[in-house]
Amino acid sequence: MRRRYPARITRLVAAPALAVPIAAAFQALLSSRTPAEESGAEPVSISVGAETIVMAGGPGGNVRATPCAAFGKDMFLVVWREGWHGKGGKARVYAARLDAEGRTLDPKGIEVAPCGEGVQEMPRAAFGGGVFLVVWQDLRNGKDFDVLGARISPDGKVLDAEPIKIAAAPRTQALPDVASDGEGFLVAWQGLEGDSPLYSGFAAQVSADGKVGPAVKTGASPQVRIAWGGGAYLAAYGASATDCVLLGRDGKPAGKSAMAIRSTKEAAFSLSAAPGAGWLIVGHRSPPDPWGWGGPGAMRCAFVAADGKVENPTLQEPSGNWKKLDNWLDVSDGRKTWPWGESASAWDGKRFVAVWPRHHIVGETKSSFANCDLFASRVDRWKPLDPAGVPVAATEAEERQPSLASNGAGTLLCAYEKGEKGATAIAARLLRTK
């Protein structure tokens, strides 16, 4: 089956840098090794659990997509788009809780914000102050997207009878992301204002009781991802490259932006934080190009320290270099596979864990994608520790769009799309590291 790549809306982002103390203990944690690794023995890697189907055959028929996972109160919450989101569609945001063993607690799903018309899509979730906050872009007004939100309690109750209006000004506000400092939330998005044809970046605080603070301009866009690092938020963003910048609790820029990963076109990246120590950014190098004219497909890592400084040993790697470089998770295997697309990462309490897609190349001209699998690796700062990658979901189905959530103590949930026989399910597997 030829791989189809959906059109993307450009995203939002953030800004500048704030000096944040780097705890020596966390630095030691980042670079620590297990006894097996110290002795030179084969290191303990990642164990992968059985697949759980979170939702299939629900109100969206055969169509569901873009899962996002979060962890809180000893459980995971997975949110996704349920149903068709194109013209005439009535896609809705759904959620389901999974327990610490990855078992679904809401087999029929939870409709987060019922409404009569319009489309809801691109949901994101985070946990803080005892509740989950789910945000998404919503077209219920029939004219342009707004950013709305709703809180879900750990017992699965939607706490807001009407969605929280986070960004509902004239013109479009879209592609939100959300992170928590443990007490409240910061929501970031991209929006159009005045007569400008260009998107600007915005952010606003949302308290655990659902109150929305004033919107501030972050000064950067598109395509934001944000993560709380223990003293500041980091925003990663960009379209042809991935830049990053520190934000204060209120979302205001706190320094200068810096390039983390250079890309060729259509940047796609993920972001996660090691509290008090820094952030991991994972992004791809090149879009589908089996002939290699733009260089190989690859998944790459960059580490951003707590003070906002970027560590990336191969920011300027030469075009066409097919060698797997020090910070590359994966690289094209001749003309057999092509690493490319949305990745995910999370902090397991000791190291980062990254999950990424690997496409198979088929056809007489070796120019079509037939199948997408998901692989994982532990990452020490920017350095992958599992060079071959650990298969997470590698079947004949199309497994893509991973999202990771961690309990911070070696157990993570990877949620993903599973496409098979014309239908897409939301699936999940537990990953455990030691």
Distance CA 98, CA 112 (A): 16
**CB 314 within 8 Å of CB 28:** no
What H or E segment, with its residue span, contains residue 25? Answer: helix 24-31
Asked if the model's pLDDT at residue 309 lies above 90, the reply is yes
Q: Check residue 295 and give its pLDDT.
A: 77
Question: Over the stretch 81-126, which tens digit does the pLDDT of each residue have?
Answer: 999 998 888 999 999 999 999 999 999 999 999 988 889 999 999 9
Paired strand residues for 355: 344, 376
> Is 259 in contact with 300 (CB distance < 8 Å)?
no
Q: What is the pTM of this model?
A: 0.89
Tell me how far apart the alpha carbons of residues 202 and 175 are, in angstroms, rounded to a whole number.
11
Provide the pLDDT for residue 365.
61
pLDDT of residue 56: 87
CA distance 60 to 67: 14
Identify residue 208 by its one-letter amino acid code.
A
- Taking the C-alpha atoms of residue 191 and residue 198, their distance in angstroms, rounded to an integer, is 8
| DSSP state for residue 2 in the 8-state scheme | P
If you compute the radius of gyration of the chain from its CA atoms, what whole number of angstroms results?
A: 20
Residue partners of 42: CB distance under 8 A and separation at least 6: 36
pLDDT one-digit tens code per residue, 369-405: 889 999 999 999 999 999 999 999 999 999 999 999 9
Strands in 181-277 per DSSP E:
185-191, 200-206, 216-217, 225-228, 233-237, 241-247, 258-262, 269-274
Question: What are the two backbone dihedrals, phi and then psi, of residue 31, each rounded to the nearest 5 degrees?
Answer: -100, 5
Question: Mean pLDDT: which of 18-32, 50-64, 324-338 is highest?
Answer: 50-64
Model pLDDT, residue 293: 72
Token code pair at residue 281: 């950014």
Question: If you average pLDDT over residues 209-238, what whole number do you get?
Answer: 95
- Residue among 134, 88, 89 at smallest CA distance from 110: 134
Residue 183: the pLDDT is 97
Give the span between the Cα atoms of 114 and 92, in whole angstroms. 7
pLDDT above 60 for 64: yes
pLDDT value at position 262?
A: 83
Q: Is the peptide bond before 222 cis (omega within 30 degrees of 0)?
A: yes
Cβ–Cβ contacts within 10 Å for residue 6, how many? 8
**Closest CA relative to residue 285, chosen from 244, 336, 245, 321:** 321
Sheet containing 75-82: order of strands: 64-72, 75-82, 92-98, 110-111
pLDDT at 34 exceeding the cut of 70:
no
Identify the pLDDT of residue 369.
82
Cα 86 from Cα 91, distance rounded (Å): 8
Local confidence band at 9 (pLDDT 50, 70, 90 cut-offs):
very low
CB proximity list for 407: less than 8 A, separation 6 or greater: 71, 74, 100, 349
Q: How confident is the model at residue 316 (pLDDT cuts 50, 70, 90)?
A: confident
Q: Angle at Cα 145 formed by Cα 141 and Cα 148, nearest 5°? A: 90
pLDDT above 90 covers a percentage of the chain that reads: 72
Domain assignments of the chain as residue spans, ordered by start: 24-433
- At residue 72, the pLDDT reads 98
Identify which has the larger pLDDT, 329 or 324.
Answer: 329
Buried b (16+ CB within 10 A) or exposed e, 357-367: bbbebbeeeee
| Mean pLDDT score across all residues of the chain | 87
Fold of the domain built from segment(s) 24-433: Neuraminidase (2.120.10)
**Quick one: pLDDT at residue 320?**
63
| Residue 133 contacts residue 126 (beta carbons within 8 Å) | yes
pLDDT tens, residue by residue, 252-295: 999 899 999 987 667 789 999 999 999 999 999 887 776 767 77
Asked if the model's pLDDT at residue 333 lies above 90, the reply is: no
Q: Identify the pLDDT of residue 286.
A: 81
Choice between 134 and 195, residue whose per-residue pLDDT is larger: 134
